[in-house]
Structure 1
Amino acid sequence: MQGVFTGFATIAVVIGVGALLAQLRILDLTAQRILSQVSFFVGSPALMVITLGRADVEDVLSANLVATTVAVLVPVVIYVVLARFVWHRRLGDATIGSLCAAYVNAGNLGIPVASYVLGDASYVAPTLLFQMLVLQPVALALLDADGATGAPPFLRLISRPFTNPLTVGSLLGVLLSVTGWTLPEFVGNPLELLGNLAVPAMLIAYGIALRLGPGLGAGGSVAELATTSLLKLVVQPAVAYAVAHFALGVDGQALLAIVVCSALPTAQNIFVHATRYDRATVLARDTILITTMGSVPVILVVAALLG
């Protein structure tokens, strides 16, 4: 269990640094936006190239992928129905809310949890690849479409994901993995250095927003925040367990890996997307905070029951 606490403690400390810098008035909301932009356009794409370039894409063709996909779709559908008919959210806000309810922190938290709790970092690869190559491009296309004036041409709409820096970085990483190519040092070393910038930048930006932004739940629906948090922490891992165990017959360590990965909190880069597109930023920030704190006991219970 040490890996779980270590991963969460690391995230908390870096977020705390951002909040402290805001408290001391060293950084402000302008700096928060700049850090988010740097992470979105520079750090995160570089991280995608390096991370996916080293992953085994064959792992995505597994029962893990099937369970992960269904566990994502169920909370997304539930949230979209509520967002459309109860809260009447616009497309961009509903897209961010859907990501809050189902997009797990498979990178900077999932990797250490998979390594220390599950004993193998590759367990998180199917979730990581599915989110980067399917869920994230679709969401970014919707966010781009929501920000456009008028209805964009079809070809322009379907090409948008491939002009997004995060999607391009993900596709380049998969290309490296499939072909077995290795980047030359004069390219790979700078990319790795820039990729190392992504997570600290987004976490510090998040800490600034926590300190200087609206209070918890301000500017949004408490019911909506409770819904995204419950969908993420309870519904998603429960669906993953049901599909993997009862439908696919997965058991043992493989089942534990699927459920633990689904129980990870909402990823911090959802806040980066929300800030970048100026959609549902408070909901993203608050859901990340609640699920990050709440996922610790959830993962501990899952590990105790299935480990």
Structure 2
Amino acid sequence: MNLVLTVLEIVAPVFLLATIGYIWVRMGVEYKVEFVTRLAMTLSVPCLIFTALMRTEIDPVALTTLSLAAAVGYGVLTAVTAIALWVFRLDMRTYLAPLIYGNTGNLGLPLAMFAFGEAGLGYAVIVFAIMALWNFTFGIWVVSGGGSVLRALREPLLWGTILGGIFLWQGWETPRFLTNTLELVGQIAIPIMLITLGVAVARLTPGRMVLAVGLSALKLVLCVGIAWGVGTFFKLEPVALAVLILQISTPVAVTSYLLAEKYGADAQAVAGLVVASTLMSVAAIPVLLAILL
């Protein structure tokens, strides 16, 4: 019973905030997703990542090991997913990126923080940064059908991660007034991302739901299995292993839908994946947390 209550305490704030966004849209109230997303991704999330890394007390060696594990995990997941799509003769441009990149920002960061505290958040931002780097290079290259892989260099969250890593490595800290300011800006990120997730889901029009449900189930199984195997291979300590599994196993990100829309992939098919995998996560995440805690 205590375990059930613990899991509910962790999961409830996440889904309640997303529900607020969902209800907000259904009531017909205006919500500018583009502005809010830009605010979060260019300002608030980079500040959150920078301060979380700078102030973390996690051993830098452990963070390095987790970074390698996350990179290998996403690499293996990419290869296995690509093979599966080739076997089932599904469009790589449409399905590969969404099945690789989960909602590690909107959902993974708050879940890690609620479940494992500041240490969990420190680990989670590392996995988030690895995912973002891979998404904004290889992911965009796949969805767009080619082109530059240097988009990540223009992403503030990448530089927030790099600077945070440098400050962590050197043991530096910003002046207290600046740290307080950055922390305040960073604190916007988690609630606003969760509300925006609910808004985005409310506005999606899912397509081909039977296929979407099947692929979402396949994604969940592959992600949990690969993350668990890679984390065990790298001998991650329990919290780091749990965060790696949790982050890689998050449902399809709304960002995947936006990128498909922008670059001409099958956006409705991706919308179906977002809805199906997000709804599936309502049941899957509590079960996963119960196992990991």
Q: In the alignment, which residue of structure 2 is the partner of 1:122?
A: 119
**In structure 2, do the counterparts of structure 1 residues 222 and 176 end up closer, same or farther at CA, with 3 Å as the change threshold?**
farther
Structure 1 CA distance for aligned equivalents of residues 85 and 167 of structure 2: 39
Identity across aligned pairs (percent)? 16
Task: Say whether residues 1:286 and 2:249 are aligned partners.
Answer: no
**Residues 104 and 266 in structure 1, CA contact (< 8 A), matched pair in contact too:** no
Query: Aligned to 1:258, which of 223, 241, 260?
Result: 241
Query: Aligned to 2:136, which of 137, 140, 146?
Result: 140
Task: Say whether residues 1:8 and 2:4 are aligned partners.
Answer: no
**Residues 24 and 199 in structure 2, CA contact (< 8 A), matched pair in contact too:** yes
Deviations 1:109-133 (A, max 9, x none): 1122124xxxxx535644541441x
Query: Aligned to 1:183, which of 157, 174, 193?
Result: 174
What displacement does 1:9 show?
0.3
Q: In the alignment, which residue of structure 2 is the partner of 1:235?
A: 222
Q: In the alignment, which residue of structure 1 is the partner of 2:114?
A: 112
Structure 2 CA distance for aligned equivalents of residues 242 and 146 of structure 1: 26
What displacement does 1:146 show?
5.7
Structure 1 CA distance for aligned equivalents of residues 138 and 235 of structure 2: 35
Q: In the alignment, which residue of structure 1 is the partner of 2:100?
A: 98
What displacement does 1:237 show?
3.0
Q: In the alignment, which residue of structure 1 is the partner of 2:61?
A: 58
Structure 2 CA distance for aligned equivalents of residues 178 and 16 of structure 1: 39
Structure 2 CA distance for aligned equivalents of residues 100 and 258 of structure 1: 17
What displacement does 1:242 show?
4.2
Structure 1 CA distance for aligned equivalents of residues 255 and 146 of structure 2: 25
Give the residue type in structure 1 aligned to 2:207: G
Task: Say whether residues 1:75 and 2:77 are aligned partners.
Answer: yes
Structure 2 CA distance for aligned equivalents of residues 108 and 51 of structure 1: 13
What displacement does 1:102 show?
8.8
Query: Aligned to 1:275, which of 243, 258, 268?
Result: 258
Give the residue type in structure 2 aligned to 1:202: M
What displacement does 1:35 show?
2.0
Secondary structure of 2:109's partner? Answer: coil
What displacement does 1:148 show?
6.8
What displacement does 1:70 show?
4.7
Q: In the alignment, which residue of structure 2 is the partner of 1:299?
A: 289
Aligned length: 280
Q: In the alignment, which residue of structure 2 is the partner of 1:45?
A: 46
Deviations 1:249-303 (A, max 9, x none): 77xxx45762464145755893246436636551234323322431212332x24
TM-score (norm 2): 0.77
Give the residue type in structure 1 aligned to 2:200: A
**In structure 2, do the counterparts of structure 1 residues 4 and 186 end up closer, same or farther at CA, with 3 Å as the change threshold?**
same
For structure 2, the residue ranges without an aligned partner over 5 or more in a row are none
Structure 2 CA distance for aligned equivalents of residues 151 and 272 of structure 1: 19
